[in-house]
Structure 1
Amino acid sequence: MFAFTHRSAARWLQGAVVSVACVSSSMVTAMYPALADAADYPVRPVKLISPWAAGGANDIFCRALAQKLTESMGQPVVVENRPGAAGTIGSDMAAKAPADGYTLVMGSSPTHSIAPGLYPKLPYDPLRDFTPVTLAAVVPNILVVHPSLPIHSVQELIAYAQAHPGKLNFSSTGNGSSQHLFGELFKYLTKTDLVHVPYKGTAPALNDLLANNVQMAFENPPALLPHIQAGRLRALAVAGSKRSASLPDLPTVAEAGVPGYDVSVWFGVFAPAGTPRPIIDRLNREFQSALASPDIKTRMDGFGAEIVGQGPDGFDAYLRAEIPKWASIIKAANVKID
């Protein structure tokens, strides 16, 4: 009797321990589903939204990084182009997506720094509705003109524009884009009358620039470099604070005689607000690793991009400084949406 009772008790105790373990696991999953999901992340494809048309710098960066993450994460990272309204349409889609790490967006200066000061009814808040993942790269736009113009320097451009007010057109990838704001700041600081012509992406803007339907642009290096090297466009200056590694002999706009002109485009990855921190940290590690790979670095150097790879907290601080800077530029230059 004693042996039977002992074995029965042992079986009962073993079952009780298993039951408690199962209940505890179920309670953790029920109470903290995000943590349970984060432990297995990712279990299905991840979507990376490029809020610009295919062929531009944002799209190029997205596809290069998506390929690396697909290899390292074991799940496809799929780029989805959602262009429109200077990147705000695609960004808004990402802001309203589930906060589970399966929808990301490649934000940039127009979508997260410029838009708050430009759009009175922006459908998202860059700080409240997103969680920063990584500041990927900073790219100084390049000021170019069509080679048919008798212009070989920034000072010659200013003199020509002042002698022919309203006769020079500059292209952009849309109202509120970096190209638009860079041109407006140039107009303000040089007191020139230039006409803004917005397009629905880099490809149509570049086509008209090459055809001399517009005469100048402040465009991202990836789209411009082949045409500069082939002589189809003439580069005058770099918009940022330092010269580009891809065009080391080209002065900055400030060096060329426009003091105070210092603007660049940044590119960074965001997830919807509320995405669990373990998922954010995993994504940050994956993007940091991709950005550090030799082939990505070589490719970005060729595009004139400076890889940053800043983490979530540093990226958040950077963004909080960028928003008021652009708001002051927009106000000073009296920029309005065309």
Structure 2
Amino acid sequence: MTTSLHRRRVLRAGLAFGVSGAGALAATSIARAATYPTRVVNFVVPYGAGGPFDITARVVAERMSKHLGQTVVVDNRSGAGGMIGCTYVARAPADGYTLLLGGLTTHILMQGAVETMPFDPIKDFTVASLLSKMPLVMVVNNDLPVKDLRSLADLLRNNPGKYDFASAGNGTSGHILAQNFVDSIGAKAVHVPYRNSVNAYTDLRGGRIAFMVQTSGSTEMRSGVVRPLAVFSDKRSPAMPNLPTVAEAGLADRVKYNLEPWQAVMVRRGTPADVIARLNAAVTATLADPALQARFDELGFVATPATQEQGERYFQEENKRWVPIVKAMDLVGR
């Protein structure tokens, strides 16, 4: 009887501890969500200043700061096609104070373009919130003797290996779409990877590079410094409504893929769920801002608000879709 009574007391004590322990954890979670963030939040951009990722981060960070009640600082850590910045975040504490502007290029396309990655895109990261999609455009320097996408295809086929194309780095969306275009039309062209899209644009304007694939809405395209030919989307870009799609340009039968890079606020996997929920709420409120929507329209970006669960599911689906396609292109070393 004494042993049985002792066991019942221990069990009751254990249950009481379990209830109070769960309550304490819930209280801690609520308190953390209410206070986060208590200091500056670092928003890492894995590309250089002035490019589309950097512009997006600065537009978003300013408004996120208001909704979070703390300063969100943009931190450019460029190089290796975005891998340097991503690796930095992958090694940071999973506490919500080091964010990454990542997405299709950094976490999915790169898997098929490099031999090894210094982090695991799926195991090391999760999406806190989707941000935007960015239609891509084929653009050429003004001295190139072409007037549309079909004449560019003819020029490349008739001059194998003569012309170079630029990208912001191996495995970036611009690299993959341009290479897919060249392969699809049965041509040969030399890929020249740059540290970022700003430097690539400089050489495109100067005539040292023949063509590249870049996000729509850039000032260079609008000003006529370079010549846009077609947009790689199912629909025309709101930023350039007069620009035809690849299908409208007459190459739907040759060019296999339309690819729209997407951006997301990403964090280390293992970041507390309540912190992620706070970030998601701040991004959702930011994307609802009419001033931000107007700025996105100017840039040719399409805002893509979503719950954290929707964003993570989209991340996983895009990974399953694109990694096999990019690996089949055999881009390593090209």
TM-score, length of structure 1 as denominator length: 0.87
Task: Determine helix, strand or coil for the equivalent of 2:108.
Answer: helix
1:40 pairs with one of 32, 35, 38: 35
Shift of 1:25: 9.4
* 2:167 pairs with 1:167: no
Q: Match for residue 270 of structure 1? A: 266
Write the mapping of 1:151-162 to structure 2, written as runs, cut at 5 A.
151-162=146-157
Once the two structures are superposed, the pairs formed by residues 1-338 of structure 1 within 5 Å of their partners are 36-222=31-217, 225-259=218-252, 260-338=256-334
Distance (Å, rounded) in 2 between the aligned partners of 1:106 and 1:291 = 15
Query: What SS does structure 2 have at the residue aligned with 1:310?
Result: coil
The answer as to whether partners of 1:146 and 1:233 remain within 8 angstroms in 2 is: yes
Contact 1:135 1:308 in 2 (8 A): yes
Deviation for aligned residue 1:69: 1.3
1:237 aligned partner, one-letter code: A
Distance 1:33 1:118 in 2: 43
Query: For 1:313 and 1:336, how far apart are their aligned partners in 2?
Result: 33
Aligned length: 313
Using the size of structure 2 for normalisation, the TM-score is 0.88
Q: 1:199 is aligned with what amino acid?
A: Y
Q: How far apart, in 2, do the equivalents of 1:39 and 1:161 lie?
A: 58
CA distance in 2: counterparts of 1:250 and 1:315, whole angstroms: 30
Higher mean alpha-carbon deviation, 180-189 vs 117-126, is at: 117-126
SS in 1 for 2:243: coil
- Please tell me the residue identity of whatever aligns with 2:151: E
Tell me by how many angstroms 1:238 deviates: 0.4
Q: 1:97 to 1:29 in 2, by over 3 A?
A: farther
SS of corresponding position for 1:145: strand
Consecutive unaligned residues in structure 2, runs of 5 or more: 1-18
1:20 alignment partner in structure 2:
none
The 4+ residue runs of structure 1 with deviation greater than 6 A are: 24-32
Paired amino acid for 1:41: Y
Query: 2:112, 2:330 within 8 Å by CA — same for their partners in 1?
Result: no
* Gap regions ≥5 residues in structure 1: 1-23
Contact 2:135/2:237 (CA < 8 Å) preserved in 1?
yes
The one-letter amino acid of 2:214's match is E
Q: For residue 21 of structure 1, what is the aligned residue in structure 2?
A: none
Structure 1 stretch 211-220 or stretch 34-43: which is displaced more? Answer: 34-43
* Displacement after TM superposition at 1:95 (Å): 1.6
Q: Give a deviation string over 1:265-295, Cα, whole Å, max 9, x none.
A: 1111111111111111111010011111011
The alignment-based identity, stated in percent, is 36
CA distance in 1: counterparts of 2:327 and 2:198, whole angstroms: 30
**In terms of mean alpha carbon deviation, does 121-130 or 133-142 score higher?**
121-130
Distance in 2, matches of 1:27 and 1:242, equals 51
Change (3 A) 1:305 1:165: same
Look up the SS of the partner of 1:142 in the other structure.
strand
Q: 1:311 to 1:337 in 2, by over 3 A?
A: farther
The one-character-per-residue Cα deviations of 1:86-126 (angstroms, maximum 9, x if unpaired) are: 11111121122111111110002211111222333212222
The one-letter code matched in structure 1 to 2:285 is S
User: Contact conserved, 1:183 with 1:218, CA < 8 A, in 2?
Assistant: yes
**Rg larger in structure:** 1
CA distance in 2, matches of 1:244, 1:261: 16
Going from structure 1 to structure 2, the CA distance change for 1:36 and 1:98 (only over 3 Å counts) comes to farther
SS in 2 for 1:208: helix
SS in 1 for 2:42: strand
Letter in 1 for 2:87: D
Q: Residues 191-223 of structure 1: CA distance to partner in whole angstroms, max 9, x if unpaired?
A: 11111111111221111000000010101225x
Q: Deviations over 1:52-71 (max 9, x none)?
A: 00111111111111100112
Counterpart residue type for residue 74 of structure 1: G
**Separation in structure 1 between the aligned mates of residue 113 and residue 210 of structure 2, nearest angstrom:** 25
